[in-house]
A and B are shown apart, each in its own frame.
Chain A
Amino acid sequence: MKVQVNGEELVIEKPVNIKEFLVLAKAEQPEYVTVQKNDAFVERSKFEETFVEEGDTIEFLYFMGGGSR
């Protein structure tokens, strides 16, 4: 199964939920990442019931501070 994660292809063996996918896809700071599946935000409360399947496009959006000091 091929999925796109932040623009890169990733092969996974079977559909997994977002919570598992965060580990599989090595998301940085999975506790704070914002997740989009096929251009829609996935609520954190729905991470366990939302599955990543063949052809899905997933985006991890990270907090980025920086700038001043």
Chain B
Amino acid sequence: MSLTNEQLERYSRHIILEQVGGKGQEKILSGKVLIIGTGGLGAPAAMYLAAAGVGTIGLVDFDVVDLSNLQRQIIHQTQDVGKAKVESGRETIAAMNPEVKVHTYNEQVTAANIQDIIRDQDYDFILDGTDNFPAKFLINDACVLLKKPFSHAGIIRFQGQTMTYVPGEGPCYRCVFKEPPPKDAVPTCRQAGVLGVMGGVLGTLQATEALKYILGAGQLLTGQLLTYDALTMAFRKVKLPANEDCAVCGKQPAITELFDYEPPTCKLRNTRVG
């Protein structure tokens, strides 16, 4: 693949970087990233990855755009309220960078479909932008079993966290957090609120990890949990040891096939927070 004149111009600020260059931009153009959840985290991640020229982007979401999403889910606009999030996401990406091939999956990830979705385009990297723990553990387990790298992130109020899993190169999400907390024990953004920019900060960090993985540049957040407190403007990296006894990636894993935890309650779905 050689870059066209238009691509040389569009991606010139990438190409000039020593760690990217023409070769790296070609890697990005043939890169395939799956974004699960096109909300606070997935929206900015999808936009930056599309702008960067990631050739294939998969968007998974079963929800429709709600007015209360627009405070942070910047891939969706006012006229998109009521539209499927994946469709709204596809339209924004098409307007930003028509070169990107977008595959949409208008469904909730479950044990029954997640492997097929990941295999659909044989995605290189998966980005977890979901808002609930059953989905986060499912994505982790699916990526461990399919040997796919992924980025975890979570945001709440003024705080965020992210870590990257690469098979064989450090702990998975389950090494750190063994199993989901009981339903409703840990508040969601809908219940506790979130400063809109938090998704931008963490989602953009996730997109950065995806690009670095595709490029093979720098060090990823493997074996580290990066936490961010916006009130004190403190970023911290906590070293994470691999857990030999991990139920999915440990030496004698108890989890060898996928399963669903109970889906999150939807009773607060239409409650507007804050």
Contact = CB atoms under 8 A, between A and B. Distances in A.
Interface bin, chain B: 35 or more
Interface in A5-45: 6-7, 29, 31-32, 34, 36, 39-41
| Interface SS majority for chain A | loop
B42 A65 contact: no
Contact of B132 (A6, A41, A61, A65): A65
Interface stretch (B11-19, B111-119, B180-188, B209-217): B180-188
A34 B189 contact: no
Contacts, number: 97
Contacts of A68: 37-42, 61, 63, 129-132
Given A6-B236, A7-B236, A67 B186 contact: no
A9 to B, nearest CB: 14
A69 B63 contact: yes
Interface bin, chain A: 20 to 34
B150 interface: no
Interface in A40-65: 40-41, 59, 61-65
Given A7-B236, A61-B225, A66-B160, 20 more contacts: A7-B234, A29-B185, A29-B186, A32-B181, A34-B176, A34-B178, A36-B238, A36-B240, A40-B241, A41-B241, A61-B177, A61-B238, A63-B154, A65-B130, A65-B131, A66-B41, A67-B40, A67-B130, A67-B155, A68-B42
